[in-house]
Amino acid sequence: MEGVYMASLQGINNNNQVMPYRDEHLVMDFALQSAALDAERMVLTRKEYDLLSLLVQHAGEIIPREALLMQVWGYGSEIRTRTLDVHIRRLRKKLGAVVFSDPVARRDLEAIIHPFVREATDRWFASLSPHHPFAVADIPLLFEAGRDVDFDAIIVAACAPETELRRLIARDGLNEAEARLRIAAQLPLDQKIGKADYVIHTDGSFAETDRQVGEGVSQLRNH
């Protein structure tokens, strides 16, 4: 049954009434199906709301795609998988509209997310066989979170600023102003390049990018 997972998240009081969820930043009223992040109300569809509820319930956990499909729709299929991707993109865009227009909200969100990312990354590295010559973690906001000191080598993928802007708009369905806000929230690319041990330039063809990746792997094996 759609949405039944919300009961454990919401909590039930002694009068068998559903209680709203509230923490320092996020407020969700389940009776009204409304949500507000740092007092900024978000207008969500039912599916977006269900997804956000599920993600709040399992904060810090990796949720398989199949589990999301079963919880929100009750079944999975190729069409539902594509639909899920659309709803996730829309939900991310709505959350982004709040956090990227408000530096305080963004810092609050990062303070929530970064410890979970660090824990998951450390747990993954610890699970690997010591016979692996090296392992790679793909971490957004690596420098901004101060995590570059945790690794033996840093790889930065870089492209021209106009290419970065165009790709971000196409990938996330943003307008130019929204995309520029997201780029401005990160360390400037030239500074990232200056801090990197290896730089892979992605302006060219896939073959050219693959060639650079292959060269980087060879160098890392001999690091």
Fold of 130-223: Rossmann fold (3.40.50)
Q: Name the residue with tokens 């009204």.
A: 32
Select, from the ranges 59-68, 115-124, 177-186, the one with the highest average predicted confidence (pLDDT). 177-186
pLDDT band at residue 194 under the 50/70/90 scheme: very high
The closest of 20, 22, 40, 38 to 30, measured between CA atoms, is 20
Question: Is 160 or 82 the better-scoring residue by pLDDT?
Answer: 160
CATH code, 1-127: 1.10.10.10
d(C-alpha 201, C-alpha 160), whole Å: 9
User: What is the number of other CB atoms lying within 10 angstroms of the CB of residue 181?
Assistant: 16
Average pLDDT taken over every residue of the chain = 80
pLDDT in tens, 77-123: 777 777 888 888 888 888 888 778 888 878 877 887 788 888 888 98
Run of H or E including 170: helix 161-172
| Residue 214 vs residues 6, 143, 218: alpha-carbon distances, Å | 46, 24, 6
Domain ranges of the chain: 1-127, 130-223
User: What is the number of other CB atoms lying within 10 angstroms of the CB of residue 85?
Assistant: 11
Question: Is 144 or 29 the better-scoring residue by pLDDT?
Answer: 144
Kindly give, in sequence order, each residue whose CB lies less than 8 Å from that of residue 32, ignoring residues fewer than 6 positions away: none
Q: Name the residue with tokens 């929530």.
A: 112
d(C-alpha 182, C-alpha 141), whole Å: 11
Contact 129, 173 (CB under 8 A): no
What pLDDT is recorded for position 22? 65
| Residue 208 vs residues 166, 194, 211: alpha-carbon distances, Å | 20, 22, 5
Q: Name the residue with tokens 């599916």.
A: 47
